[in-house]
Amino acid sequence: MSANQPIAIIGAGSIGLAWSIVFARAKFPVQLCDPSAEQRDHAKAAINERLQRLSHYGLLDEAPDALLARVTLCDSEEKAVANARHVQENAPEDLALKKDLMARLDALADPQAAIASSTSTIPASQWAVNLPGKHRCLNVHPGNPPYLLPVVELIPAPFTEHHITDAVRDLMIAVGQKPVLVAKEVEGFVFNRLQGAVLREAYCLVRDGVATVEDIDTVMREGLGLRWSFMGPFETVDLNTNGGIERHAARLGPAYRRMGNERGQDDPWTPDLVAKVVAQRRARMPLEKWAECGLWRDEMLMKLKAMRARDSPV
């Protein structure tokens, strides 16, 4: 991979602008296009505004101008994709529009380039199915904004070639993102499935008069969310239960199953499923490290708390 080869960003809305920052920050030339002259005219100023704020928080290695100089505004898709190794599309969530746009990009782009969509709702198997270059198409769904939320979901279609997905994963790592593989094109992918699970339960709790909107938000931001900002949900319960996640599942699985049943869900944590989860956690953290990792967790919480103490008006 050469950092001299440009990245094409299609669409200068908020996600396109944010992607431009991600790639420019990693020293890639960025070729950004938008069909709207107004959006194009606005783009550099909008990127600069974000860069100034990042710089203020010490989050850039270089002056904002140096990054900004790597972004070229293009008045055509052809110019944007010229020589690009990766095409990242950020058009509105409209299948017909995306199909047309992607057909043009597929025809214009270097045959080696990956063609990725930032869409959170339209699987690549829908927008790419009729393209000659469908093998190099996939969804690459960022957190918003991607220069602050590192997670990126890679969702290949069944026809996406593995080497393309691998190359995109390597590119994402190279630019400082945290790619995850979503192996099936389920609605919501993983990010919005987890978010949806919380929102659905939260709405039920308000509906049933169990808690207010603000109190539910407080439970997250003064509790669960503090942990989840540096540990995933599996890691959290693995570290919170003496004996690890196997013991957690045995002790609390039945209670969580009952809570699910109340919402119509019955997906028990069978011995096979628990064994699968346990095996993956033990490969990441042997149980002998449990106490040590618990100290790390508490340290992370203390650092978060210290940061808040510094930053809040109290």
DSSP 33: E
**Sign of the torsion formed by the C-alpha atoms of 222, 223, 224 and 229:** positive
Which residue has 């990245």 as its token pair?
Answer: 7
* Separation between Cα atoms, residue 226 and residue 102, nearest integer Å: 40
Comparison of 222 and 288: residue with beta carbon closer to a second copy:
222
Of the candidates 140, 134, 85, 90, the one whose C-alpha atom is nearest the C-alpha of residue 116 is 140
Comparison of 6 and 142: residue with beta carbon closer to a second copy:
142
Asked whether position 263 contacts a second copy by CB under 8 A, the answer is: yes
Task: Measure CA of the first residue to CA of the last residue in the chain; give whole Å.
Answer: 48
Asked whether position 186 contacts a second copy by CB under 8 A, the answer is: yes
Asked whether position 255 contacts a second copy by CB under 8 A, the answer is: yes
Applying CB under 8 A, the span of 34-42, 84-92, 131-139, 144-152 interacting with a second copy comes to 144-152
Comparison of 94 and 217: residue with beta carbon closer to a second copy:
217
CB of 163 to a second copy, least distance (A): 20
What values do phi and psi take at 195, rounded to 5?
-65, -40
Alpha-carbon distances, residue 107 vs 12, 78, 113 (angstroms): 21, 10, 11
CB of 303 to a second copy, least distance (A): 6
Among the listed residues 121, 135, 247, 290, the single contact to a second copy using CB under 8 A: 121
* Separation between Cα atoms, residue 175 and residue 9, nearest integer Å: 15
Asked whether position 191 contacts a second copy by CB under 8 A, the answer is: yes
Comparison of 57 and 96: residue with beta carbon closer to a second copy:
57
Applying CB under 8 A, the span of 95-103, 124-132, 158-166, 277-285 interacting with a second copy comes to 277-285
Asked whether position 267 contacts a second copy by CB under 8 A, the answer is: yes
Among the listed residues 217, 243, 286, 296, the single contact to a second copy using CB under 8 A: 217
Q: What does 158-173 look like in DSSP terms, one character per residue?
A: TTS-HHHHHHHHHHHH
Q: Which of residues 43-72 bind a second copy (CB under 8 A)?
A: 53-54, 57-59
CB of 182 to a second copy, least distance (A): 6
Q: How many residues bind a second copy (CB under 8 A)?
A: 101
SS3 64: helix
